[in-house]
Amino acid sequence: MKNIISLLLFLCSFELTFAQNDGSSGKLIWADEFNYSGPPDSTKWDYENGIVRNKEPQYYTKKRQENARVENGNLVIEAKKEDYRGAEYTSASLITLGKMHLRYGRIEVRAKVPKGIGSWPAIWMLGVNRELVKWPSCGEIDILEYIGRDSTSAYGTVHFKNGVGKYEMSGQHPFVGKPYDDFHNYTFEWDKKKMTMSYDNIKYFEFNIADADKNAQKIFSSKFYLLLNLALGRVGTLGGRLDPDILPITFLVDYVRIYK
C-alpha cells in the first residue's frame, strides 16, 4: 500500500509540474476573447492615430470600424487603399497604454496574418515611459513581426539603449512554415532572466536579459504595454515594397490572454 501511495504522489507531482511548464496554468490576469460584435472593447483598447512611425504609408484611424472591428469571434484589423486625410492607405493600431501594463508574465495571441508583398502585421510591446524617455530608451519587444516578402518566417526582436547610450537590437527570424495559412499561436514568456517567443511549439527567439548590460536589464524589468497593428511596407523599411494590389488585407486575432 505504501508503494502505491508513493507512486500516486509522484504522478500527481509530475502532472502539476507538466501543467506549469506547459504554460496553460498560471493566473489569467487580462484577456480579450473577442466574443462580441462592434468596435474593440474600449475598457481594454485604445488606438494610435495618424502617420505614426517610419514614414509608413498607412494612416492609423481611431474608432473607425472600417479598419478595426470585432466580428465572428475575431478582432479584424483591416488595411485598405483609400484616400484619407492626405494618405493613400488606412489601417489600425490597437494599444493597451493606460489600460493594461505588464512586467513579466506570459502572453498568448492566436492570430492569422495576411499574405502579400508589403503586409506587415505585428504583435509587440513598448515601455510605458516612451513619451518621457523616448525610443529606444523605453525598450521595444517585438513578439511577432510578419513580413510579407519573407512569408515563411516569424521575426522576434528586442530593441534598447545600452549603458553607454548606444542603440542595440537582438533578433531572429527562422523558417516556421506558412504563418498566413491559418490561425497560429504566438506565445511570449518573460521573467527576470530571459524572454522567449514561440510559434505554436516552435521557439523562434530567446533573449537572455541576465547577459545584457545593466541598462538593458533595467529597461526590461520595467512595465510595457501591448500593441496589435497592421502596418504596410515601403522601400527602406523592414516591411519593404508594398504591392497595392494585395489590398484590402486583414489581420485576424482570435484571442489575447495574459498570465502571471
Residues marked as catalytic = 140, 145
Q: Which residue has the cell 516556421?
A: 176
Pairing of strands 249-259, 74-84: antiparallel
The 10 Å Cβ neighbour count of residue 117 is 17
| Interacting residues of 188 by C-beta distance below 8 A, sequence separation 6+ | 106, 107, 123, 141, 143, 195, 196, 197, 198
- Is the omega angle on the peptide bond into residue 39 within 30 degrees of 0, that is, cis? no
Q: Is the dihedral of CA 21, 22, 24, 28 positive or negative?
A: positive
Residue 57's alpha-carbon distances to 5, 120, 146, 159, 182, in angstroms, are 66, 12, 17, 23, 27
Cell readout for 202 is: 516552435
CB 122 within 8 A of CB 88: no
Query: Where would I find the H helices in the chain?
Result: 2-22, 130-133, 214-219
